[in-house]
Structure 1
Amino acid sequence: MSTHNTTTTWKGKMQFESTNPSGETLLINAGEENGGEGPGFRPKALMLSSLAGCSGLDVASLIGKMKLEVGDFKIETIANLTEEDPKVYDEVIIEYHFYGSNLNEERLNRAVDLSVEKYCGVLEMFRQFAKVEVKTMFHKI
């Protein structure tokens, strides 16, 4: 078993700086509607970025291992936030967009499936509290 440690330090008002295990830092801030001002990621949006990043790393690794031709690749996450407090995501759509002139759709679908069903721990955590829908889209260029 391994552990991950982060340190999140209050920088004043509604802003925090968080340091991850690799030493990188990012700013976290509330939206203006909640007293925040200035730069910083919103905490719930960071969860969606973590979800996309986790799965994206899986898929990028598989693209390399499968020697697939992909010109560009992006992941869109669309999440429904409940109205009542505590506000949580109850539904999440993950859209995988692949761009290229010679896309192997079958193998790219396999790469996404492996991430979604086997490798992405963040996605598995999301399944504990939200309905997750996955869409894969191919854009010939």
Structure 2
Amino acid sequence: MATQKISLNWKEGVYFESEGPGGIVPIDGSEEVGGQGKGLRPKALMLSALAGCSGIDVASLIKKMRIDVDTFDIDVEAELTEEHPKFYHKVWVNFNFYGDNLNEKKIEKAVTLSVDTYCGVMEMFRQFATVETKINYFPKK
């Protein structure tokens, strides 16, 4: 069974650096708890992990499926519960593809494979939140 490990290193105040496979990520708290805006907040980092996981899948599938895409980005928005401990209970993931000759059928297949089969972070989110996905197509930037 595969395992992963990170080390969280306290730097000052509520600023930390998370070191793991491939690099270091700065993490900081909100201003209300003494944060200074030096890094991502922990909950936002979860949304970044979701977008990153699916983005890596889609980028890999675009290459394998030889899909002509100028570029793409992923926007994630989430709603927190009102009671403590606050957690995401609704999540919206928008896949935005840019190009002049987009093959929407192939792009939809790539996104669906990521969302339904490959992205483990997406599956983790489904354990505690309703996740909605949408694909948007735009002309070349």
The TM-score, its normalising length taken from structure 1, stands at: 0.96
Q: How far is 1:12 from its partner? A: 1.6
SS in 2 for 1:52: helix
Task: List runs of 5+ in structure 2 lacking aligned partners.
Answer: none
Report if aligned partners of 2:15, 2:26 keep a CA contact under 8 Å in 1: yes
Q: Report the equivalent of 1:46.
A: 45
Q: How far is 1:109 from its partner? A: 0.3
Q: Report the equivalent of 1:70.
A: 69
Amino acid at match of 2:99: G
Q: Report the equivalent of 1:80.
A: 79
The TM-score, its normalising length taken from structure 2, stands at: 0.96
35-44 or 118-127, larger mean C-alpha shift? 35-44
Percent identical residues: 54
Q: Report the equivalent of 1:101.
A: 100
Q: Report the equivalent of 1:58.
A: 57
Write out the 4+ residue segments of structure 1 that deviate beyond 6 Å after TM superposition. none
Q: Report the equivalent of 1:16.
A: 16
Q: Report the equivalent of 2:137.
A: 138
Amino acid at match of 2:5: N
Coordinate RMSD, CA, aligned: 0.8
